């Protein structure tokens, strides 16, 4: 049986491009003759019945905005069977027969539960972390990386003037992708990620040699999954480097999405709707090598995203 009334929610940490994804789900659903609802504040809104009909105009003027007009939440109650039953009852009350969950790995676990409870559910990877496998990129990652690269450009100016080392702490929870991509794109001398072992003494020695051979700055990008930038700076000081620390924090999660994120979000939102109409459920929508790819959410949440060692080694070779 195909769906007639679908709902969309955004959950977990917000990410740039979530609005473009919501717009795509809503307008694609309406285009195909469905009724479309918006759920406010993720799974919390499902439990609290914060659900409203969406029309073409309700998603106007948002493609270029960061954040999410549907707002988001981290909702502990949805992890309990009672919370899940409340959520399901509210969906049934509105006659909703399909849900699109836009969020990260945690939200995917919630989507998996909705699917198991008999609700047709699709997952869209919306997180700056890029920690969801079976898609080349998650919605928001490209923008977050651009923000980090822009920040490192600025830091590099002042580090060069003073011949200093900068430690830049970036987000990514347990995933080093923001550090890796931003590190490569900004020419960082060291990229510390949870996926690769590192030796701070070796790094400090290389930096001292670099300075001795005429380099005028050093950039160390640290993924938060490795530890606090402040702590890395304290450790490295023991080896004769005196770095300055910058924690980029939530700056990385705001601002206008890049065209890459807007296009990814627009494609994935439309893909999710088409697949729901075809009767699919419990699937994650991704884009791999330019092609739409559907994967069981169950498989996605039980697979660790592979780390791109080739890019890491390239970054290290080029930052001599």
Ligand X SMILES: Nc1ncnc2c1ncn2[C@@H]1O[C@H](COP(=O)(O)OP(=O)(O)O)[C@@H](O)[C@H]1O
Ligand Y SMILES: O=P(O)(O)OC[C@H]1O[C@](O)(COP(=O)(O)O)[C@@H](O)[C@@H]1O
Q: CB neighbours of 71 closer than 8 A, spacing ≥ 6?
A: 10, 40, 41, 42, 45
222 binds, among Mg ion, ligand X, ligand Y, none (CB under 5 to 8 A by kind): none
Dist CA 310 CA 33 (whole Å): 46
User: Pattern 112-151, binding to ligand X, x per CB under 6 A?
Assistant: -x-------------x------------------------
Regarding 35 and contact with Mg ion (CB under 5 A), the answer is no
Regarding 195 and contact with Mg ion (CB under 5 A), the answer is no
171 binds, among Mg ion, ligand X, ligand Y, none (CB under 5 to 8 A by kind): ligand Y
**Which tokens is 170 given?**
């970036």
Nearer CB in complex with ligand X: 37/78: 78
User: What SS3 class is residue 303?
Assistant: coil
> Are the C-beta atoms of 140 and 148 separated by less than 8 Å?
no
> Are the C-beta atoms of 218 and 189 separated by less than 8 Å?
yes
Nearer CB in complex with ligand Y: 12/243: 12
> Are the C-beta atoms of 202 and 255 separated by less than 8 Å?
no
Question: Of 309, 307, 10, 313, whose CA–CA distance to 133 is shortest?
Answer: 307
**Residue 15 C-beta: closest distance to ligand Y, Å:** 7
What one-character DSSP code corresponds to residue 126? B
What one-character DSSP code corresponds to residue 250? G
Annotated binding site: 13, 23-27, 74-75, 104-107, 127-129, 156, 164, 171-173, 187-189, 215-217, 224, 244, 250-253
Residues that bind ligand X (CB under 6 A): 11-13, 43, 74-75, 78-79, 103-107, 109-110, 113, 127
Annotated binding site for substrate: 127-129, 164, 171-173, 224, 244, 250-253
């Amino acid at each position: 049986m195909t769906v007639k009334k679908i709902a969309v929610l955004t959950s977990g940490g917000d990410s740039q491009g979530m609005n473009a994804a919501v717009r795509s789900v809503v307008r694609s659903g309406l285009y195909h003759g469905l009724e479309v609802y918006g759920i406010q504040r993720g799974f919390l809104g499902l439990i609290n019945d914060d659900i409203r009909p969406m029309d073409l105009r309700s998603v106007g003027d948002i493609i270029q905005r960061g954040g999410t007009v549907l707002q988001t939440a981290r909702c502990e109650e949805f992890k309990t069977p009672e919370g899940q039953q409340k959520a399901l009852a509210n969906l049934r009350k509105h006659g909703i027969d399909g849900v699109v969950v836009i969020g990260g790995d945690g939200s995917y676990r919630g989507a998996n539960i909705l699917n198991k409870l008999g609700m047709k559910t699709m997952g869209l990877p919306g997180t700056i972390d890029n920690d969801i496998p079976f898609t080349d990129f998650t919605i928001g990652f490209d923008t977050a990386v651009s923000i980090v690269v822009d920040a490192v450009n600025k830091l590099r100016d002042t580090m060069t003037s003073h011949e200093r080392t900068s430690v830049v702490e970036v987000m990514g929870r347990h995933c080093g992708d923001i550090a890796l991509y931003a590190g490569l794109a900004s020419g960082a001398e060291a990229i510390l990620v949870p996926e690769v072992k590192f030796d701070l003494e070796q790094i400090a020695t290389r930096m001292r040699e670099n300075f001795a051979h005429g380099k005028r700055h050093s950039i160390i990008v640290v993924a938060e999954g490795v530890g606090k930038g402040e702590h890395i700076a304290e450790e490295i000081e023991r080896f004769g480097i005196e770095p300055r620390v910058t924690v980029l924090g939530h700056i990385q999660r705001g601002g206008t999405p890049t065209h890459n994120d807007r296009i990814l979000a627009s494609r994935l939102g439309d893909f999710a709707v088409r697949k729901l109409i075809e009767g699919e459920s419990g699937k994650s929508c991704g884009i791999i090598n330019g092609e739409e790819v559907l994967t069981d959410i169950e498989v996605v949440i039980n697979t660790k995203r592979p780390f791109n060692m080739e890019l890491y080694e390239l970054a290290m070779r080029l930052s001599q």
